Amino acid sequence: LPANHTKLVTAAMLAIGDELLSGRTKDRNIGYLADFLTLKGVDLKEVRIVGDNEPEIVEALNALRARYVYVFTSGGIGPTHDDITADAVAKAFQVSIDHDPRAMKLLSEHYAAREIEFTEARKRMARVPHGAELIENPISAAPGFVIDNVNVLAGVPSIFQAMLDSIGPTLEGGIPVKSVAIDSPFPEGTIGTALAELQKRHPETAIGSYPRFDGERYTTQIVIRFRDEQSGNAATHDVKTMLDTLQLQEQDK
């Protein structure tokens, strides 16, 4: 979707965790981030999922952070040995990593208030790459962090979402994409050729089509996405005209 001559704000996500690849955990953060970014006018362009494997995290992160305005990671910042995201991010940026004094203070106060021992394992959650800023975690205190254009968030969905809310105001948004959904009583196979023509005629919009089956009939939801209102209106008008024409033709039979 063209950005109408304004700067396109792009993003990628890197979801980290063996449990996502084994099927043990079904990811719920990708769809949430997609919705969140769409509302902010940021174009999510690519998602990758890799396991708890340092070279693979480093390689994916370096590929994504060079290519997109923002990168968001999920997972691997807990207290156990398989939580290696912070170390992998430090390696990707070639910076040192240590227990961050700000994070140590946050966590020691959090656990002291709850009379929970601040174990070595829990101190792992204060490991933050040099030069990163912390991201607030209002749920369980252990912070995420931002380094350059990479936002490192927790994998637990409630914490992932709370951290996104924490950084939301700091993200530069683009012009939000609007969308119009039009129900077509015809299946994709009937309208496909006409729809392709309309897409060519309205390159400033993205016309998508999604098949539906109600158990009896195939129909289609047509979704027109646009940043510029006038382009969106023109495409919407033409799609509706196309559907009306087909309906009249049908009645003539």
Stretch that binds its own copies, among 39-47, 91-99, 232-240, 241-249 (CB under 8 A): 39-47
- Positions in 45-74 near its own copies (CB under 8 A): 45-51, 56, 60
Stretch that binds its own copies, among 85-93, 167-175, 194-202, 233-241 (CB under 8 A): 194-202
Looking at the Cβ atoms of 136 and 218, the one nearer to its own copies is 218
- C-alpha dihedral (52, 135, 150, 178), degrees to nearest 10: 110
Buried b (16+ CB within 10 A) or exposed e, 128-139: bbeebebbebee
Stretch that binds its own copies, among 129-137, 144-152, 160-168, 208-216 (CB under 8 A): 208-216
Looking at the Cβ atoms of 7 and 67, the one nearer to its own copies is 67
Looking at the Cβ atoms of 80 and 241, the one nearer to its own copies is 80
C-beta of residue 11 within 8 angstroms of C-beta of residue 42 = yes
Of 178, 180, 231, 174, the closest CA to residue 43 belongs to: 174
Cα 94 to Cα 56, 90, 91, 129, 167, distances in angstroms: 15, 6, 5, 9, 24
The reply on whether position 253 binds its own copies by CB under 8 A is no
Q: Count other Cβ atoms within 10 Å, centred on residue 7.
A: 10
- Positions in 108-167 near its own copies (CB under 8 A): 116-117, 119-122, 124, 156
Contacts with its own copies: how many residues (CB under 8 A)? Answer: 61
Task: Find the shortest distance in angstroms from Cβ 131 to its own copies.
Answer: 26
Q: Which of 27, 77, 239, 243 binds its own copies (CB under 8 A)?
A: 27
Sheet containing 178-184: which strands, arranged edge to edge?
178-184, 218-226, 206-213
Task: Find the shortest distance in angstroms from Cβ 149 to its own copies.
Answer: 18
Q: Which of 172, 173, 211, 250 binds its own copies (CB under 8 A)?
A: 211
The reply on whether position 178 binds its own copies by CB under 8 A is no
Q: Which two tokens stand for residue 253?
A: 């039979």
The reply on whether position 228 binds its own copies by CB under 8 A is no
Q: Which two tokens stand for residue 202?
A: 């309205």
Looking at the Cβ atoms of 112 and 131, the one nearer to its own copies is 112
The reply on whether position 180 binds its own copies by CB under 8 A is no
**98: amino acid identity, one letter:** D
| Polymer length of the chain | 253
C-beta of residue 171 within 8 angstroms of C-beta of residue 187 = no
Looking at the Cβ atoms of 79 and 233, the one nearer to its own copies is 79
- Measured N-to-C along each axis, helices 229-252 and 188-201 cross at an angle, to the nearest 10 degrees, of 140
- Helix, strand, coil abundance in the chain, percent, nearest 5: 45, 25, 30
Task: Kindly list the residues in this chain that would bind its own copies in the complex (CB under 8 A).
Answer: 18-27, 30-32, 34-38, 43-51, 56, 60, 78-82, 116-117, 119-122, 124, 156, 177, 179, 188-193, 195-196, 199, 206-211, 223, 225
